[in-house]
Amino acid sequence: MNEDKLKGYLLIVGIALIVLLPIVYIISSKIKSKELNSNGIKSTAIVQRVERNKNVKTRTFSYFITLKYQDYNNNEYSETLPIDFSEYRKRVKGQEIEILYDKMNPKNIEILDYKKFKKTEERILFYEDLIDFQNQLNPEYILDKLNKISYGWEIREKDSSFFINRIRQSYLIVKKDTTKYITDLIHNNDITKHIEKTDFMESEKMNVGYIYNPFLNIEKPKKNISMTVFAKNKIKGECTLKFYDQIDYKRKLWNVMSSVK
């Protein structure tokens, strides 16, 4: 074989590898994910680190998360996984998240994907949901529908009008006159898209105080504050839909969606 032919063959092999390797990786990742979702063991991991690395040549970013967890024998592990931007945005150091790990190889892990594991939609609540809940006023119906929308909803003890989702850092208060959905800014992109589709026509000034944060283990301040927010409004049937931002006792900002009759 002469030198030119050898170079040609090597070039073809090189191109084939460039094309095939990503495909093989994607297929093997999907097989691994399917096996974990079928046979993996669920556990809770603690986020140790979330990082972003920039590729100077391509000017793109890669995102990684390092998780600390234990297997069923209480052996401790620390593993770093690649994640996408949406996952990167909602993870912080010290946060607890659920994972799946391989019993035979506990270092083989995956962040639990509730869409696959629980067959849920894993989305924010829409105004249509708020209106539906307000019309039903049935805690069992509401809880069942909430957990079809996203996993992790529960009714707060001794208050059947208060629903909370610690995984998604969101809560819902359903009453006959007003239904409120309060959610962390990690869902702000999804909220913004929904607000744009809702086509609000006007806004108004509202005076509000601190918003309640059920995820904080601190007492409510004795003295509340009064602040002005601009709420977007839209009339839909017998309901007035509202959207605004409000801060809690620690000055953290929350998205608020409400339906008022």
The pLDDT value given to residue 69: 96
CA-nearest of 182, 176, 187, 160 to 254 is 182
Residues 209 and 140 both lie in one domain: yes
Choosing from 117, 149, 182, the residue where a domain stops is: 117
The pLDDT value given to residue 104: 86
In a domain, 10, yes or no: no
Residues 44 and 96 both lie in one domain: yes
Alpha helices in the chain (DSSP H): 3-39, 85-89, 114-117, 127-136, 139-149, 188-198
State the Cα–Cα distance between residues 37 and 246, nearest whole angstrom: 38
Per the structure, the complete domain to which residue 213 belongs is given by: 127-260
State the Cα–Cα distance between residues 90 and 215, nearest whole angstrom: 16
In a domain, 18, yes or no: no
State the Cα–Cα distance between residues 86 and 228, nearest whole angstrom: 31
Residues 172 and 138 both lie in one domain: yes
Residues 46 and 113 both lie in one domain: yes
For Cα atoms 126, 129, 132, give the angle at the middle one, nearest 5 degrees. 155
State the Cα–Cα distance between residues 129 and 93, nearest whole angstrom: 32
State the Cα–Cα distance between residues 80 and 18, nearest whole angstrom: 25
Strand partners, 46: 68, 96
Task: List Cβ neighbours of 8 (8 Å cut-off, separation of 6 or more).
Answer: none
Whether 28 and 10 have beta carbons less than 8 Å apart is answered as: no
Residues 148 and 249 both lie in one domain: yes
Q: What 3-state DSSP class applies to 236? A: strand
Residues 200 and 248 both lie in one domain: yes
Cα–Cα distances (Å) from 75 to 41, 55, 65, 70, 102, in that order, read: 14, 35, 20, 5, 13
The pLDDT value given to residue 216: 82
Residues 159 and 221 both lie in one domain: yes
Residues 85 and 45 both lie in one domain: yes
CA-nearest of 190, 181, 184 to 163 is 181
Residues 143 and 105 both lie in one domain: no
Residues 132 and 154 both lie in one domain: yes
Q: Digits of tens for pLDDT over the chain (261 positions)?
A: 566 555 556 566 566 555 554 554 444 555 565 667 667 888 999 999 999 998 888 888 999 999 999 998 999 999 999 998 888 888 888 989 999 998 888 998 989 888 888 889 999 999 999 999 999 999 999 999 999 999 999 999 889 999 999 989 999 999 999 999 999 988 888 999 999 888 887 788 889 988 999 988 767 666 777 889 999 999 998 999 999 999 998 889 999 999 999
Domain count, the chain: 2
Q: Give pTM, 2 decimals.
A: 0.77
In a domain, 135, yes or no: yes
Choosing from 65, 87, 117, the residue where a domain stops is: 117
Quick: pLDDT tens for 80-90: 999 988 888 88
Cα–Cα distances (Å) from 228 to 13, 224, 249, in that order, read: 66, 13, 16
Choosing from 117, 135, 167, the residue where a domain stops is: 117
Residues 52 and 100 both lie in one domain: yes
Quick: pLDDT tens for 17-35: 555 545 544 445 555 656 6
